Structure formats: C-alpha cells, structure tokens
Amino acid sequence: MATTQNRANGNGAAVRSTKVTQGEQENIFLFIPNLIGYSRVVLALASLYYMPLHPRTCSILYSVSCLLDALDGYAARAYEQSTKFGAVLDMVTDRCTTTCLLVFLAQAFPRWSIVFQGLISLDLASHYMHMYATLSMGGSGQSHKNVDESRSWLLKQYYSNNKVLFTFCALNELFFIALYLLSFSSPLLSPTLLADNNNPSSVQPGSPAVPKPSAFFASPFSAAAMEMARANKMDSTVPWILVGVSAPIMVLKQWINIVQMVKASQWLAEGDREMRRKAGLPRREKKRQ
C-alpha cells in the first residue's frame, strides 16, 4: 500500500514523496495456473478410479487432464504467475499419471511388463536427474526448460518450442491411451476377449482374466456391468490407428528421455570434478609428491 507525504525542498517548494509499504503476501497456492494444476490431479484420480472397468470414461478424464497441461502454462505466462511450485506440481502430476497408466498396461499385458517397467524407470530417472542437475548446476533461478544449445541441440529444440513440446507429450500419452483401449477391444493383444462360453475366465498368458460381469456385479443391469459388457464389444479399429500414428513420436520421446538422462549425468559429473578440484581432492596424490 502506497502513502504520500508533502515536504519542503531547499527552495521552500512543496515536494510530494511516495512511501511504499509492504502489502499482503501473495498466496502462491491460489494462482490460476496452480488451480488448473489441482484440477489436473482431481481428473487424474477420477480416471484411475474408472480405469479397471470403464475405458471410455477413463480415457476422457485422462485426456482432459493431459490437455490442461498446456493451459496451465499459458495461464502462467498470461497472468505472470510462473512459479517454481507450479513447475514442480506440473512435472510431478505428469510423472505420476503416466506411471499409473503404465502400471495398468503392465498388468494388462504381462508378457510386456518388463518393457512398461523400463519405461516407468526411464521417465522418472530422466526427468528427476534433469531437474536436479538444472537446479544444482544452473542456479536456483534456472528453469528445467532452459537448456543451453551447447549442451544438447536436441533438448534445446524440445524445450524451447512450446508447440513441439506439447505435440511430443500429447502423442506420447495418446500412444499409451490407445494401448489401454486395445486391452479392452483387441483379441489380438488380449486373447481373453475372444468369445468362449466354456471358458469365460481364461488366464492365457498375455492378458488378464475377464470374468463374466455377474461375477463382479450382483445386477447385470448395473451401470458398471453394462459398461464392462460394452467395453468387451469395443471396436479396435480407431485405437489401432492411434497407435500407428503416435508410435514414432513415442519412440522418439523415449530417445529424448535417454539423451536427457545422459546429458544430466554428464553435467553433474562436471560439477563434481570442479567441486573436487576446488577442495584439493584427491589428497593422496599430494601426499605422494
């Protein structure tokens, strides 16, 4: 809050001076981008609730949560509300939602579980090491999206263009969402979806068992039972198309994760060497001399 006072200068003329007092502290947690971030978390949790038996509802909620990732960044720039808390909230939400979906896919396709486990590990390790290296080596005011081209041309192109970043992230998530839908609709990937009245709860390798709805729900006309019945009749054409379109970007996104992890490791190693040099390490060589 600003207050004004009148005082006289050396010539006797009145001069107005302004005294600025500190106002109330801003509530970072209620910034618009962070409110959008909270809504992403709520939508993600709702999608996880519907994930086992409601593929359509889950896919819609999960997709909206992912799309809001672009909106919170836009809001942060438009309202000048970019914060470290918001950046961390955004990254943690991305990592957690993708991990939860990959955990489901690992259970839906046991034969390929090691692949999904590897993707989870790569995603978490790459982003954690990159952010830690940026904050520890680049200074507290540095953003993980500010990448020097001398360190990695690929990462510079990836993080400097918001449209490129959004496209890669969106198509990467689209690939996994399409796989999720195929686990409900493609007998090729999930053999238990094949009609088999004599063995309705087969446990063939490669897919989870799919018992009759009556085994889960007392009423075959309940919403969940009807959704499960519809899910097993889903057409797999569109999900297969989505897989084909998004697969190349998904593969390139994983390559970027590898590059990001390697570059972060090298940057941290540079810092370690410099720190050891300043500390006069190793001391054993000096003693020998």
Enumerate the active-site residues: 94
List CB contacts of 246: < 8 A, sequence separation 6 or more. Answer: 171, 172, 174, 175, 178
Nearest to 268 by CA among 133, 125, 142: 133
* Type of residue found at 202: S
CA 254/CA 134 separation, integer angstroms? 20
How many alpha carbons lie under 13 Å from residue 76 in its C-beta half-sphere?
21
